[in-house]
């Protein structure tokens, strides 16, 4: 095996079948098959639908990634797969496929943590991670602040959501406003035409001295505000509601992320996860990091959402660190703790 391992990464934690090919810190391929359109009519991800879609998409997506990378399965040095957290049935499809490839090829298997992979993927764009850094991960299932001394072996939780994750709140508010699913991109677009100062929505756990988040109360406040306008027969200013809601979310996220950096003496902040594609979050994070003298790292939007490249990136990091691979009886763990980078 070379100093730059060639790793195939498989991601199936939710509704995207992602397969990436990475050599060291170089991205060679990032193939994705999404089942989001199949979930849109339900207003959220249906686990059984997602699992069946992964089954259908797995082999074609692997083939597409290998073709894009210009390599064959025989060239691969290791297989990495998301072992958790995520939807149990969806995870099982990816883990089973990865085991089959690893066993058939006689290659080592690395079961990795989905959240740690969101951190590792930034290395494909901006090079090796500073040690330590603070990571703010925001998606449909997770809103977490992490201290990362070493993404391959030492990831420490600082705070997390106590109820709805940020992405989940975006989906629910988009539904209230009769926008599309997933809600993040629709809210982001609508907010560009709105006034973020027009409505004062609550900021959960804003000054509580923790690194935890809460977005359930905000989601409810938006729904009640919209309902009160509708009962009164008044038009709902969708753009203003979207902008004010979005500002409430990103205000809390960035405030706590900056506090986590300062309190831990860390000079680099990484923002990842699907909500990191949000234009206002990226802008406010940049503004506040510059004011605080903190370096901000945010991957390009395609690498923020769930993808196989991030799994391959973490796999390459683990191989490069000489860590022992996972056993072939590797389980899929829907509630895998962030402290377990490698299963």
Half-sphere exposure of 173 (CA within 13 A, CB side): 36
Sheet (strand 6-11) strand order: 26-34, 16-23, 6-11, 78-84, 109-113
User: Is 188 annotated in some ligand binding site?
Assistant: yes
Contact 1, 14 (CB under 8 A): no
User: Is 264 annotated in some ligand binding site?
Assistant: no
Task: Tell me the H-state helices in the chain.
Answer: 36-40, 47-69, 88-105, 114-120, 123-126, 166-176, 183-191, 216-231, 238-263, 279-292, 301-304, 308-320
User: Is 139 annotated in some ligand binding site?
Assistant: yes
Contact 342, 318 (CB under 8 A): yes
DSSP-based three-state secondary structure for 95: helix
User: Is 9 annotated in some ligand binding site?
Assistant: no
Report the residue count for the chain. 343
User: Is 114 annotated in some ligand binding site?
Assistant: yes
Phi and psi angles of residue 203, each rounded to the nearest 5 degrees, phi first: -110, 100
User: Is 113 annotated in some ligand binding site?
Assistant: no
Q: Which residues are annotated as a binding site?
A: 114, 118, 137-141, 171, 184, 188, 278, 306
Instruction: Detail the residues annotated as belonging to a binding site for substrate.
Output: 137-141, 171, 184, 188, 278
Binding site residues for Fe cation, as ranges? Answer: 114, 118, 306
């Amino acid at each position: 095996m070379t100093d730059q391992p060639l790793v195939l990464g498989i991601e199936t934690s939710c509704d995207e079948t992602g397969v990436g090919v990475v050599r060291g810190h170089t991205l060679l391929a990032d193939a994705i098959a999404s089942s989001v359109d199949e979930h849109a009519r339900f207003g959220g991800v249906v686990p059984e639908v997602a699992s069946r879609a992964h089954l259908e998409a797995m082999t074609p997506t692997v083939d597409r990634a290998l073709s894009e990378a210009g390599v064959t399965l025989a060239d691969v040095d290791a297989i990495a797969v998301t072992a958790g957290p995520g939807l149990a049935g969806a995870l099982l499809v990816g883990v089973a496929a990865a085991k089959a490839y690893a066993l058939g090829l006689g290659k080592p298997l690395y079961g990795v943590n989905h959240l740690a992979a969101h951190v590792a993927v930034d290395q494909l764009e901006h090079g090796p991670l500073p040690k330590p850094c603070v990571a703010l991960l925001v998606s449909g299932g997770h809103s977490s602040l992490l201290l990362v001394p070493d993404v391959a072996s030492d990831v420490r939780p600082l705070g997390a959501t106590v109820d709805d994750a940020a992405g989940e709140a975006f989906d629910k508010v988009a539904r209230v406003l009769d926008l599309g699913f997933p809600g993040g991109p629709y809210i982001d677009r609508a907010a560009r035409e709105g006034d973020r100062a027009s409505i004062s929505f609550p900021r959960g756990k804003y000054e509580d001295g923790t690194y935890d988040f809460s977005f359930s109360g905000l989601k409810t406040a938006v729904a009640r505000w919209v309902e009160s306008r509708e009962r009164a027969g008044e038009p709902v200013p969708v753009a203003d509601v979207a902008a004010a809601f979005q500002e409430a979310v990103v205000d809390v996220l960035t405030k706590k992320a900056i506090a986590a950096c300062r309190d831990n003496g860390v000079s680099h902040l990484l923002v990842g996860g699907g909500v990191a594609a949000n234009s206002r979050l990226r802008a406010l994070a940049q503004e506040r990091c510059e004011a605080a003298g903190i370096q901000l790292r945010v991957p390009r939007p395609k690498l923020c959402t769930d993808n196989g490249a991030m799994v391959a990136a973490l796999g390459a990091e683990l191989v490069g660190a000489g860590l022992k691979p996972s056993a072939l009886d590797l389980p899929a763990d829907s509630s895998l703790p962030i402290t377990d980078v490698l299963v």
